[in-house]
Structure formats: C-alpha cells, structure tokens
Structure 1
C-alpha cells in the first residue's frame, strides 16, 4: 500500500478529549474477563488510540477470506478506484485524501457495498486497514443529493469515534457540496418537530435512537443504508447493544446493512447475525502466521531484580533498533522504567492512567525514535505497528483470571515485532514453576517451541539470536 495515505486526522480534536472522555465505559480485558491487578484494556479507548496514531494504511499480511451470500455469483475485487465507477467529484475527494489504490479489505468490500441491488455485509477489519474510508465512500456514493432527508445512518460506540468517522466523510465528500452530514452525538441539541435535511447522520446509539423515536428528526423507514461500526466495542459498552437493536428494528427489510468489527468472538457473531440478514462475510485469517518471523525464547530468573539483570544483558548484547517490554501492573512498569532510565536507556512509559491523547503522544515519540524502549502494560498489546521493533520482552507473562496462559494476549504482544516480513525476537521472563507451566501451555497452543536462553552466556546468546 502507499505510505502517503492519511486515514485519520487526529490533530484537530485534541482540545475536546479531556472533557469528552467520560463516554468510555467498559473496563473488561480483551478476553472479556476483569483483571485483578493488571492494567485494564478499554476497547473503545484502544480503538480511538489506534485511529489517532495511524498515519498510513497498515500493510496487513493477513489473507482475506470472502464468504458470499450467493456462492454462484462471480466474486469481484478491484485494484483501482476507477473500476468502481464513482462520481467524478467523489473520486476527486478520494485522491485528495492521498489514496492511490484500494487497501486489501477495500478491494473486496467496496464492490459488495456498491453493488446493485444492495448487498448486506459483515466485515472483520482492524483499525488502519481502510474500512472507515470504505464505508464512508459507500455512504457518499449511495445518497441522492436531491433528496433532502436522512438516507444513510452510521452508529459508533463513542462520541470521539463518531467524530473521527465524520471527519473522514467530510474530507472525502469535500467536492460534493450538495451532500450534507449531521452528528447525532450528545450536546448536539436539535429543535423538536423538524425533519433533518442532512442525507448522512453519524452518531452514538443513545442520541441516534432519541432522534429516531423521541424527537422524530429522522424517519427510519427512509433510511436505505445502515452502518454499524466497531461492533465488538459496541456490545462491550453498557446499553449500546440494546439501543443498536432498537434502532435496527425500526428500519425496513430493504435497508442495506453493513457491520464492522475488529474481532469476531461468538458474542459478536450472535449480535451480527441478529442485525444483518443474509450477509456477505469478509474475514481476516488468523494472525498466527506472524509467528513464522519471530524467534521465541525464555529466560529463567528468580525475582524481578534477576529479570532486570537478564534484560540489561539481553539489550546490551543485541543490536536492537527498538524494544517493547510488557508488564502486568502499572507498579511494575513504573519500577522497570525508573531502573532502565538509571542505566542510561531512553525509555518511554505507557499505561492506563494516561489519557488517550497522552498515550498517542508517547507512541509518536517512540515511533519517531526519540525513545528506544517502550515499557507498557496491556494497553499497548493490540494494533500498534512500529516497523523498527525488533525485540518484545514479556517481563510478566500474560495470564487470564484463572491463572492460565492468555494465548490471545501473548500473540498480540509478541506480534508487535516481526512486522512487515522483518525478523523479530520475543523473550519471556520465567520466575517460578507456574511461569514455566504458562510457557508450556503457550508452546502447546501455538505448536511452537520456545527456546531456553542464558543471558549471562554472551556467545550462546549471539549464536541463538543470530
């Protein structure tokens, strides 16, 4: 993909984050459990963080799997935006944003979104793959500017995410002056008794539901495209799932339904099947292929001071571009950062008490090489792609609430290295029999051997990690 693409325009929105972050509710871990003492992973905050730090489309190596509603229908994909036969003003807007050619998910999703007669779609897509631009393009293509009523409705789980989507639509629709956009978000009070003339409405479920039912600003029967973004975040947020279903029930059977989610756990599937009848499905095949480019090791230690010594030996003997170190608690992350700084390392700390914009600033500094080591809790295990990361260290191994290996988190953590076909190293600190059991569980789950490493033997380290 082109590196010049700008999908998200985060800089304009710093000023209101401090006052608007209260909309973000869920405090569950990535696997749905509550963490006792670890940093909580907030799915909505993580999604927003990923949007803020993306400056280009992710060069995703995952294969896209397409399941068509009608298997006899020819499967179309496109390699250029011209093939989509877009209106000239819209094509101009696409190129003005810096898009040169469709991303992998856009190649398959856009022909389905723009098909006539309309087709429903359930799509799995991580942040940065171009899905916001894809459904924005679909909505802008879909509306009839001559009709002065709401035709496309998009709901997102938070105020900030809704604004991010709206910003993409505004940029892409820059040369389509007759297409108007309204934000169905808290604080945007509308006069009762009027009907909205904006063809596209982006909002959060509670406000949009009020606009459809209590205030009757929108006529749900006239909606012909319904987009539900970040479905996995939506159903993890109190009340949003039910509000989304109540909005959906008011729409006609002919309304085109598009649903997007970064993950496809069973709960997301059940929700998707409830709101999207007869869908085409686009899924990403699992990320486990990334393990092929990552050498995995474990180091036996007695306590945190031993771990720290091993870490210093490891870092001193490797020519490392950048390293990412994961701890289970904020307290441990702070201790490790302080000690690494004393040793003269340029260290950045990322943990959950920071605001989203503070985290984005830390990641920008790290990405630009101002700090070579990033110490973090689970808030950073998903989706942050820094090409120069060659070493990931699990200072604390990831475990679930029952004390067993958290394999998904392990995969996300070590997947921060070995990106884009580069080789990477993952080193796990083992400080107890229980930790060794976790390593064995991870080996069995991924069917990969994790090699023992003696960080005090420089020759052995160099031969194993060469």
Structure 2
C-alpha cells in the first residue's frame, strides 16, 4: 500500500470496520423515532473515519502555539528524523506511510519530545492524527514492564475499536506489546490486574477499571490521550468522567487531547484536562459560492417538485447529484420515485448503522449509483469529486424554522470543489420557503436566479 500520502494511508487503515480481535461486536443503532433527525456526533465521527479515503482539505494551514514561545519550533519532513525504534519505523512503513502529513510535521516532534510535552490539537478525520498519537503511545511503552502505561479515551466503543486497529497494525513488529479494551461487554474478574501495556476504552468503563475495580494503577500511566473531545462533551457524563480519570494520573504524565472543533465548551474542557499545553490548530479554508451557479424553481406541491426534477434530468447531462430532503419519509419516497424513472439511486437513511451508511457512500463515490438522496445529518463530511449538481428538494432550516445558512453552504459547496463550476437548484413550494430562500440570498449577498423547468431551452442554458 505504498503511497506518498500519509493521510490517505491512515484513512485506509482507519476504514477497517471489523471488530478487533473478536473483543466485542458493534451493535446496531436503535431506530430513531424523531423524523427530523438529530445529529449524533459520535456516529458522524465514526462515519467520517470510514468514508474519508481522500484528503480534500489538505491545503489547510497549520497554526502552532507553543507553551514556551522562546523555545525553537521543530518540524520534520521524514520519519527518520524522529529517531523512532526500528520496529516502530518498520510498522509505519508497512502501513504505507512515506512521509508525515502537514499537521504531523509539527505535532510529532512535540509528542515525542523529551521531557514529554502536553498537546491540544485540532484535527479532522483525514489528517492522520490517530496514527500520530498511536506512534506517541507506542514510543513511550517499555515492553518489559507488564502493566498499563498508556491510556486512550474514546467516546464510543466503535471509535475505540477503530483506534485499536491502528495500534495493532502499527505495533505489529512489536509482538510483545499488548492492548486491552476497556469497553462494556469486556468482563474481567474483580481484583484482576491488567498486564497489557496500552488500554483504550470509553470513559465510564475506564473510570471503573481505575477506581472501583482497580484493574489499572493510574499512577503508572505515562501517556493519556483524549480523542474526539468535541464528541466526548456532547455525551452525557463523559466530560466529568474524563476529568475524574485525568485527576488520578501522575503530574508527569503526558496529556494529548484532540478535537475536530474548538468551540468555547471544548476549550474549557481541554484546559481542565491538559495543563500547560502546546496548541496546534488548523486554519480552515473559507468555503465559497463564487464557483456555483444557483437557481430556484417555483412549485406548488411535492409532485410538482418531482416533475421539475425529472425535467432537469431530461434536459441536461448530470454526472452525479446529491439531493437533500428535510425528513426521512420524503427521502424514502423520492428515492423510490426516481428508481421507478430508471435512475440509479442510493438512499442514506438514519435507520442505517454507520457501517451501512459508509457502504452506501462508498458505492456512490465509486459511481455505482448516480443519485444520492439523503437528509442533511447523514451526508455531512461527504466529498465526491464527480458531484456536479446539488438539489435542495427541501431548503435547510434549523429547529425553529429559520434558514440554516451554514448547512446551505456545506450542501451546495460540495458541487463547486476541485476547481470546477457547480450547479445548485433549490425547490420552493410555499410562501414560507420563498421567504427562507430570500433570507439565504441576503445572508450570502448572492442572487439566486429563477429557473423555469417547463422550458427545456432554459434548462439547457444553465448547463453551459
């Protein structure tokens, strides 16, 4: 799997969806009863790991804030510069990593420094951060010492298993290194001491293993990793449990925290968990509507919206399209109607478990289906180069019925990427949705032109 892209290779490793070592199986997600689906951050994070086989935001700039601004700032362009143990370097290369990604160039020297340094880092799926902190943990372990030395917290057992897979693969030339999973369903005898070097698990179970059951001596932990901090604090109880675990650790324990976003609540949490940190942030590139032609179609009913959609498909050639609906019910109906018309349709539904969603997205990405019908929640994080048209069958609104401008930008932004011109069509079927559209126009200061889908000549012009 030789490739020049560290991040691409990491994602291929992180995309393994099988249970690790038969420890525990992934449970199906219970069906959601609320038709307007609520975002499940943990599921979304797992989905992103499974689907991001290409790094689309690899132009992001990295901002480094050192705890000591007077110390020299080191970065590396190769893994040899890190002076890794030979078995670890062998593991890195065996996974197909030839050189560090942009964020690793700065993060790895800090994470592997002597004496150890603490780090708070912003990183999305696709930046290679999992393999980076795995490398840090494996570097600190003394195999001859048969007790837990590194502790990694994940918000869910599915995410813990993903990280565990990377640990197993990167450490495969260190057969004496052992890994334990502190997750529900992994039963141990009371009073038993764990001899594995690395423990990865969810906060509640790890807390029990450290305090009540005493399987782990927290005073011997050298490296503490808290992954997916933004997901962690969105889960009831995880924030307090994580802080309680951190307070049991020795003062010289290295603390590493990672989060995809850094809103105020995440910062407050990070500062409680990680004292005296170095900080790495990603400067996200601004999404723009400059390369996207936007139109709206006036309709009186759902059936008219569907007919307008058929007219568009009848007049122009569309490589691949994403169609967004407000509810699962509408999405299912629309997918069925499009299938009857002979279209190759994929449906993303909230009832699917994460692995099923990832499989649907992968088929769409490979071009096996040409149309992806989805609600907003299911489709976050999807980047498909061939998408040339985005259709808002329903305009995006928040829970109060106001325009959701950020979601609008993310939705139609998918079609103007990779230097190509994109096309976005909005279906308007009421005074209320016309008002939503007008407010979206005002917000972005971009005119959205009316399109008459009964006029085939007019439709053909928009494709040119």
TM-score w.r.t. structure 1 length? 0.90
In structure 2, how many angstroms separate the alpha carbons of the residues matched to 1:72 and 1:294? 45
In structure 1, how many angstroms separate the alpha carbons of the residues matched to 2:164 and 2:213? 22
Of 372-381 and 56-65, the range deviating more from structure 2: 56-65
Alignment partner of 1:302 is 2:300: yes
Of 178-187 and 190-199, the range deviating more from structure 2: 190-199
Aligned mate of 1:88, from 86, 94, 102: 86
In structure 1, how many angstroms separate the alpha carbons of the residues matched to 2:20 and 2:222? 34
Alignment partner of 1:349 is 2:347: yes
Quick one: structure 1 residues 248 and 293, their matched pair in 2 at CA, closer, same or farther if it must change by over 3 Å?
A: farther
Deviation at 1:351, TM superposition (A): 0.8
In structure 2, how many angstroms separate the alpha carbons of the residues matched to 1:465 and 1:18? 50
Structure 1 partner of 2:65: 67
Q: Deviations over 1:341-383 (max 9, x none)?
A: 1211111111101222222222222122111001011233311
In structure 2, how many angstroms separate the alpha carbons of the residues matched to 1:439 and 1:405? 8
Whether the aligned pair in 1 keeps the contact of 2:390 and 2:414 (CA below 8 Å) is: yes
In structure 1, how many angstroms separate the alpha carbons of the residues matched to 2:230 and 2:255? 16
Structure 2 partner of 1:164: 162
Deviation at 1:447, TM superposition (A): 4.4
Quick one: structure 1 residues 61 and 320, their matched pair in 2 at CA, closer, same or farther if it must change by over 3 Å?
A: farther
Whether the aligned pair in 2 keeps the contact of 1:232 and 1:268 (CA below 8 Å) is: yes
Quick one: structure 1 residues 432 and 282, their matched pair in 2 at CA, closer, same or farther if it must change by over 3 Å?
A: farther
Q: Deviations over 1:20-52 (max 9, x none)?
A: 436x7998xxxxxxx964123211112222222
Quick one: structure 1 residues 239 and 392, their matched pair in 2 at CA, closer, same or farther if it must change by over 3 Å?
A: same
In structure 2, how many angstroms separate the alpha carbons of the residues matched to 1:434 and 1:8? 43
Quick one: structure 1 residues 89 and 372, their matched pair in 2 at CA, closer, same or farther if it must change by over 3 Å?
A: same
In structure 2, how many angstroms separate the alpha carbons of the residues matched to 1:324 and 1:18? 35
Whether the aligned pair in 1 keeps the contact of 2:325 and 2:394 (CA below 8 Å) is: yes
Whether the aligned pair in 2 keeps the contact of 1:389 and 1:417 (CA below 8 Å) is: yes
Structure 1 partner of 2:399: 401
In structure 2, how many angstroms separate the alpha carbons of the residues matched to 1:63 and 1:275? 26
Aligned mate of 1:223, from 221, 225, 248: 221
Deviation at 1:297, TM superposition (A): 2.9
Deviation at 1:230, TM superposition (A): 1.1
Q: Deviations over 1:247-300 (max 9, x none)?
A: 111122322211112222222222112212232222233453354443333333
Structure 1 partner of 2:193: 195
Of 225-234 and 112-121, the range deviating more from structure 2: 112-121
Structure 2 partner of 1:244: 242
SS of the equivalent of 1:335 reads: helix
Whether the aligned pair in 1 keeps the contact of 2:154 and 2:203 (CA below 8 Å) is: yes
In structure 1, how many angstroms separate the alpha carbons of the residues matched to 2:197 and 2:443? 49
In structure 2, how many angstroms separate the alpha carbons of the residues matched to 1:74 and 1:437? 55
In structure 1, how many angstroms separate the alpha carbons of the residues matched to 2:21 and 2:252? 40
Alignment partner of 1:337 is 2:335: yes
Residues 200-215 of structure 1: pairs in structure 2 closer than 5 A: 200-215=198-213
In structure 1, how many angstroms separate the alpha carbons of the residues matched to 2:399 and 2:22? 35
In structure 2, how many angstroms separate the alpha carbons of the residues matched to 1:162 and 1:83? 30
Aligned mate of 1:312, from 310, 313, 338: 310
In structure 2, how many angstroms separate the alpha carbons of the residues matched to 1:119 and 1:219? 22
Quick one: structure 1 residues 453 and 238, their matched pair in 2 at CA, closer, same or farther if it must change by over 3 Å?
A: same
Whether the aligned pair in 2 keeps the contact of 1:57 and 1:103 (CA below 8 Å) is: no
The alignment of Structure 1 onto Structure 2 pairs a total of residues equal to 458
Quick one: structure 1 residues 15 and 98, their matched pair in 2 at CA, closer, same or farther if it must change by over 3 Å?
A: closer
Quick one: structure 1 residues 361 and 204, their matched pair in 2 at CA, closer, same or farther if it must change by over 3 Å?
A: same
Whether the aligned pair in 2 keeps the contact of 1:295 and 1:425 (CA below 8 Å) is: yes
In structure 2, how many angstroms separate the alpha carbons of the residues matched to 1:184 and 1:330? 35
Gaps of 5+ in 1: 28-34
SS of the equivalent of 1:427 reads: strand
SS of the equivalent of 1:75 reads: coil
Whether the aligned pair in 1 keeps the contact of 2:20 and 2:165 (CA below 8 Å) is: no
Gaps of 5+ in 2: none
In structure 2, how many angstroms separate the alpha carbons of the residues matched to 1:68 and 1:340? 54
Alignment partner of 1:281 is 2:268: no
Whether the aligned pair in 1 keeps the contact of 2:385 and 2:418 (CA below 8 Å) is: yes
Whether the aligned pair in 2 keeps the contact of 1:290 and 1:419 (CA below 8 Å) is: no
In structure 2, how many angstroms separate the alpha carbons of the residues matched to 1:290 and 1:84? 38
Deviation at 1:4, TM superposition (A): 5.5
Aligned mate of 1:151, from 144, 149, 152: 149
SS of the equivalent of 1:65 reads: strand
Of 64-73 and 163-172, the range deviating more from structure 2: 64-73
Deviation at 1:76, TM superposition (A): 2.9
Quick one: structure 1 residues 82 and 331, their matched pair in 2 at CA, closer, same or farther if it must change by over 3 Å?
A: same
Quick one: structure 1 residues 265 and 25, their matched pair in 2 at CA, closer, same or farther if it must change by over 3 Å?
A: farther
Whether the aligned pair in 1 keeps the contact of 2:30 and 2:351 (CA below 8 Å) is: no
Deviation at 1:432, TM superposition (A): 2.3
Quick one: structure 1 residues 36 and 25, their matched pair in 2 at CA, closer, same or farther if it must change by over 3 Å?
A: closer
